Amino acid sequence: MKITIVDYKSGNISSVINSFKEVAKDKVNLEVTSDLNKIKSSDKIVLPGQGSFKSCVDALNKINGLADTLNDFTINKKKPLLGICVGLQMFADTGYEEIETKGLGWISGKVSKINNQNGKYKLPHIGWNQISIVKGSRIFKDIENNAHMYFVHSFEFIPKDKNVILATTDYSSNIVCAVEKENIFGTQFHPEKSDKIGLQIIDNFIKL
Amino acid sequence: MLKNRIIPCLDVKNGRVVKGINFVDLKDAGDPVEQAKIYSDGGADEICFLDITASNENRDTIYDVVKETSKKCFVPLTVGGGVRSVEDINKLLSCGADKVSINTAAVQNAEVVLESSKKFGSQCIVVAIDAKKNGNKWEVFTHGGRNNSEIDALEFSKKMENSGAGELLVTSMDRDGTQVGYDIDLMSKISSIVNIPVIASGGVGNLDHLVDGIKLGKASAVLAASIFHYGKYSVKEAKEYLDSKGIPVRI
């Protein structure tokens, strides 16, 4: 199996690479690249993302043909993709970080700032929070409800169709923290930084 | 519910741990990678390395330490000490650090914080503030506590938040190494004026100090070094104690 972690210069992805290497060992041919042909020939894709919604979308669009290739991979070929953090957020139609920015539009919805209730909640939402699983999924195999995951973000994805929501986490409100739509998976938390339980999610994705 | 974090900090000099954990089964007590792994396996919510390498020619040793640690620890790794520029931050992040803490450079030039948080995201920029009480205010010190900038620590905290810092790591220099507890007054004042998480540091001697840092100091996370290094308490014991006091922790 060939899995590609898309390296589109969206910030620090070494932790994502390290965690996949740890889980995949020799079983998987792991590529870290933005090469379109390599992406096309992959079985699965990981789309990380750090920084702002706008900076990630801009970085993605800077690489000629990347958005189209990803689109073809997920929407036409229906092959599995895992978005992490802003990688998930980019599934949305629109993001409102810095300025209104068009996303990939794979899962209808928007990305807006977490309501901090006039400073009652500190932002970014940094640290370990429990996930409340609302719907079973293959990527949650052997993951218990209320498991702790590591979060770092100030913006949240609000999908239009609530059926795509796999899990939420409680911070100011019930924040969507995992989604699934057919072959598209995403986590707002960082499985690569969530200790053994996070690595389990990565293993589940690899074994899909 | 978001949990309060416990962060053990390791001082690293020339690629070796200076004050390490005194465990009998340790193969190499000076190996930062092995020590970080013990902490993460023991339930540490994050690991912090403070590079105290004095000479410039040995400064690259921290990069190898970070590289190796990030291959073995799958909890967030914060690295600080000697970070001068956006390029230094870039290097540490690409070696596998998840966050970088900036101290002197942030005081000398807030642009470093502004530029790096824009470039890499606020989530990976921690500003470390070393503060010392002078009369009824606190002043910010730089260069590992050697130079007094005379900048007001509260004003500086606000400025760093506005410059894009994702977190503040606040160390009381009066308390550091004394084991009499955090400077609660300092922690709670800073925590109440900024809307970003504050990590309390400096002065922990027992587990009640950790409780106070969170309950009274309003810190989101507590950092400690010596109580963990010398095996006085394990991270697990600390968490169980906090839990018994009604503080939300990841167990």
- pLDDT computed for residue B177 by the predictor: 84
Query: Residue A26: what pLDDT?
Result: 86
pLDDT recorded at residue B18:
82
Q: What is the CATH number for A112?
A: 3.40.50.880
Please state, in angstroms and rounded to a whole number, the distance separating the CA atoms of residues B150 and B153. Answer: 9
Query: Residues of A with CB below 8 A from B124's CB?
Result: 11-12, 50
Structure tokens at B216: 């009274």
Dist. CA B148–CA A57, nearest whole Å: 43
Taking the C-alpha atoms of residue B66 and residue B80, their distance in angstroms, rounded to an integer, is 11
CA A77 to CA A70: how far, in whole Å? 10
State pTM to two decimals.
0.95
Count A/B contacts: CB-CB distance under 8 Å: 98
- What is the pLDDT at residue B57? 75
Show the domain range for A170.
2-206
Best of A9, A12, A146 to disrupt the B interface (most B CBs within 10 Å) is A12
Q: What is the pLDDT along chain B (251 residues), one digit of tens a residue?
A: 999 999 999 999 889 988 655 555 555 668 899 999 999 999 999 999 999 887 777 888 999 999 999 999 999 999 999 999 999 999 999 999 999 999 999 999 999 999 999 888 899 999 999 999 999 999 999 998 889 999 999 999 999 999 999 999 999 999 998 899 999 999 999 999 999 999 999 999 999 999 999 999 999 999 998 888 877 899 999 999 999 999 999 99
Mean pLDDT by 10 residues, chain A (208 residues): 93 90 93 96 96 92 97 98 97 95 98 93 95 97 98 96 98 97 98 97 97
Model confidence pLDDT, tens digit, residues A146-195: 999 999 999 999 999 999 999 999 999 999 999 999 999 999 999 999 99
Would you call B1 and A129 a contact, using CB atoms and an 8 Å cutoff? yes
Q: Is there a contact between A11 and B93 if contact means CB atoms under 8 Å apart?
A: yes
pLDDT at B20: 52
Tally of domains within chain A: 1
Measured distance CA(A206)–CA(B137) in Å, rounded: 54
User: Tokens in use for B95?
Assistant: 């070696």
Q: Which helix (H) or strand (E) holds A79?
A: none
Beta strand pairing call for B167-172 and B125-134: parallel
Residue A139: predicted pLDDT:
97
CA distance A48 to B116: 19
- The CA-based angle A121-A200-A156, given to 5 degrees, is 30
Tokens of A100: 């209104």
- The pLDDT of residue A3: 97
Residues of A with CB under 8 A from a CB of B: 11-12, 14-15, 18-19, 21-22, 50-52, 55, 116, 119, 122-130, 148, 150-154, 170-171, 192-196, 198-199
Exposure string for A168-190, b = 16+ CB within 10 A, e = fewer: bbebbeebbbbbbbebbbbbbbb
- DSSP letter at B218 equals -
Element (H, E) at B141: strand B137-142
CA atoms within 13 A on the CB side of A66: 20
Q: Which residues of A are catalytic?
A: 85, 190, 192
pLDDT at residue number A11: 73
Pair A47, A84: CB distance under 8 Å: yes
ipTM of this predicted structure? 0.93
Give, to the nearest 10 degrees, the angle between helix B86-95 and helix B111-120.
Answer: 40
